[in-house]
Amino acid sequence: MRMFTAALTIAALALILAASSGAKSEGPVQLTGTVGPGFTITLKNHARTVRMLAPATYSFAINDKSEIHNFHLSGPGIDKKTTVAFVGTRHWTLTLRAGTYTYLCDPHATGMGGHQMRGQFVVRAP
């Protein structure tokens, strides 16, 4: 009987260790910004357009797909951008606090027959 109890205890410990080693650590939420290749700019959390966030640290993956555009994010304490000539992906880890944030393509933020390459989201107060 003691061997059966010991075997059950070892099996239970092995299951607990396996479950805890596979658990992912909580890290910043990943947001994806994309500009180009056409005249589009987006900021998404998975497939959803970002409109409102909580104050926190976020991981941004910025996909700049055109050498005629850039991705520029600005808001309270934040002013980050890719260069117009850059094509590729940049990663930023940013702490966002309450306020309104704007993302845009500097060369195409206004004009273009009423079509603007810009978006906005709000980080709500805690």
pLDDT at 74 over 80: yes
Over the stretch 89-114, which tens digit does the pLDDT of each residue have? 999 999 999 999 999 999 998 876 65
Cβ(119)–Cβ(42) below 8 Å: yes
Q: Are strands 29-35 and 118-123 parallel, antiparallel or unpaired?
A: unpaired
What is the number of alpha carbons within 13 Å of residue 42 lying toward its C-beta? 14
Which residues neighbour 16 within 8 Å (Cβ) at sequence distance 6 or greater?
none
CATH class of 29-123: mainly beta
What is the number of alpha carbons within 13 Å of residue 4 lying toward its C-beta? 1
User: Residue 46 — pLDDT band, cuts 50, 70, 90?
Assistant: very high
End-to-end CA distance of the chain: 56
Cβ(55)–Cβ(97) below 8 Å: yes
Residue 31: name the closest of 101, 84, 87, 99 by CA.
101
> Which residue ranges make up each domain of the chain?
29-123
3-state per-residue secondary structure call for 21-32: HHCCCCCCEEEE
Over the stretch 59-70, which tens digit does the pLDDT of each residue have? 999 999 999 999
